[in-house]
Amino acid sequence: MSEIETTDREKTQKKGANQHANAKPAAAASEPNTRKRKVLLSLLGVAVVVSAAAYGAYYMTYARYHENTDDAYVSGNLVQLTPQVTGTVVAVNADDTQVVKMGDPVVTLDNADAKIALGNAEAALGQTVRQVSSLYVNNDFYAANVAQKQSDLARAQDDLRRRQAVAGTGAVSLEDISHARDAVTAAQAALDAARQQAQANLALTDRTTVAEHPNVQAAASKVRDAYLAYARNTLPAPVTGYVAKRSVQVGQRVSPGTPLMAIVPLDGVWVDANYKESQLRNMRIGQPVTLTADVYGGKVQYHGRVVGFSAGTGSAFATLPAQNATGNWIKVVQRLPARIQLDQKELEAHPLRIGLSMDVDVDTRDNTGPQLGAAMTTTYRTDVFAQYGAQADAEIDRIIAQNMVPTHGAQQASRDASHPLARRDADSKSVTSQRAG
């Protein structure tokens, strides 16, 4: 038993000696690992401090002066082409993706009925011009008639004076003198009637011309109305742009207000950037903007400026606005559209289409601009329809000139002080004095 215990003790001592011998290399190996760990932790701490300092410097010098969003899209004008008259489509001269220029005839309607109505109106105007021209011609006729009646009155007055001069000699009977006096009265009455006729005709033509006569103007208005209805059977492009959403087909019966197609002028697009309400604190009108489009990537940059903010959020103008007064209300961060105007030259170099996504970065360093736009008006206009009125006026002038009857200066004579009507008072005084004699 003692030998066995001695053997076990020896084994135990050997094992302890071996463990002690192994512990020395392990302790020696753990010391470099501990130092390495401390160095790495120190480097990590330094990296964190440097990163925090770098971010702080970045925020203080750049980030706090920039507001970014990718909730931005290209917007533009969608010019609807709609007819102004009812008709059947006989021609469509453009299709989707094609370019049309302002004034080009895009859609044509059947104009047979309008052409007939225009012909009737033109004939009525020509007839009215001839009738009104005859009124001016009658001014000369009635003036000549007044002159004749004045001559008859003068002759009757001379006869009366001669008979009255020899009445005391008995060469002329009292009956002849009475007849001569009655002839003067009859001539005076005829002269008054002629003057009234001339005055009545003059009232229809005084202070106006054939072209400006009310009857001619009324007939001309009917021609203008018929001409516009005829011309509106051709629908020109209101603006220069690309055709989109074409729905009109040949043979289709259309009525006023029916959408036929849309024309998109891509040279005047803008960007609507939808910013969170918390990002609008330092944004002002006039601030510079840098943009990139997904279609071109980050290598192509656009530059512009903020030109305005929407008057309300998208939810405020929704068809079904949010009912915030209900009991199950949940706050949702709202977004407000900001309109950004782009540089025209950059748009020409890299065209954009309506609806494309954009990344927007607004530089808010200069916040002296207004938050709301000043009172100003943006005007969109087209002159392609104005030519219809000019063409109608030219057609009216042609018809009036073609049907006008020469008046031989009757219009000028009606305004001349030497006109027979102008001497009416003087003649009346002369007759009265002769009767008194």
Let me know if residue 96 belongs to a domain: no
Which has the closest alpha carbon to 208: 142, 123, 139? 139
Let me know if residue 155 belongs to a domain: yes
Q: What is the pLDDT of residue 407?
A: 55
Let me know if residue 302 belongs to a domain: no
Q: What is the pLDDT of residue 435?
A: 36
Q: Rounded to whole angstroms, how far apart are CA atoms 249 and 260?
A: 9
Please identify which residue in the block is written with the tokens 């020896």: 10
Let me know if residue 413 belongs to a domain: no
Eight-class DSSP state of 350 = S
Q: What CATH number does residue 221 fall under? A: 1.20.120
Q: Are 419 and 145 in contact (CB under 8 A)?
A: no
pTM above 0.85, yes or no: no
Q: Rounded to whole angstroms, how far apart are CA atoms 83 and 236?
A: 10
**What type of residue is 103?**
G
Q: Rounded to whole angstroms, how far apart are CA atoms 58 and 52?
A: 10
Q: Rounded to whole angstroms, how far apart are CA atoms 294 and 302?
A: 12
Phi/psi class of residue 33: alpha, beta or left (left: φ > 0; alpha: ψ in -120 to 50)? alpha
Beta-carbon neighbour count of residue 331 at 10 Å?
6
Nearest 5°: the CA angle 201, 144, 412 is 60
Beta-carbon neighbour count of residue 350 at 10 Å?
12
Which has the closest alpha carbon to 231: 14, 366, 83, 28? 83
Tally of domains within the chain: 1
Let me know if residue 184 belongs to a domain: yes
Let me know if residue 44 belongs to a domain: no
Full DSSP string of 213-271: -HHHHHHHHHHHHHHHHHHTTEEE-SSSEEEES----TT-EE-TT---EEEE-GGG-EE
Q: What is the pLDDT of residue 20?
A: 55
Eight-class DSSP state of 405 = P
Structure tokens at 165: 């001069």
Q: Rounded to whole angstroms, how far apart are CA atoms 386 and 103?
A: 11
Q: Helix (H, G, I), strand (E, B), or coil: what is residue 93?
A: coil
Let me know if residue 191 belongs to a domain: yes
In terms of residue numbers, what domain contains 133? 112-231
Q: What is the pLDDT of residue 187?
A: 81
Strands 241-244 and 253-254 turn out to be unpaired
Q: Rounded to whole angstroms, how far apart are CA atoms 89 and 252?
A: 5
Let me know if residue 165 belongs to a domain: yes
Q: What is the pLDDT along the chain (437 residues), one digit of tens a residue?
A: 455 555 656 656 665 555 555 555 555 556 777 877 888 888 888 888 888 888 888 778 777 889 999 999 999 999 999 999 999 999 999 999 999 999 999 999 999 999 999 999 999 999 999 988 888 888 878 888 888 888 888 888 887 787 777 776 767 777 777 777 888 888 888 888 888 877 877 777 888 888 888 999 999 999 999 999 999 999 999 999 999 999 999 999 999 999 999 999 998 899 999 999 999 999 999 999 999 999 999 899 999 999 999 988 888 888 888 777 877 778 888 999 999 999 999 999 999 999 999 999 999 998 888 888 766 677 888 888 888 888 999 999 999 999 987 655 444 434 443 343 334 344 434 433 433 33
Q: Rounded to whole angstroms, how far apart are CA atoms 223 and 345?
A: 47
**What type of residue is 70?**
D
Q: Rounded to whole angstroms, how far apart are CA atoms 302 and 371?
A: 23
Q: Rounded to whole angstroms, how far apart are CA atoms 365 and 283?
A: 9
- CA Rg, the chain, in Å? 51
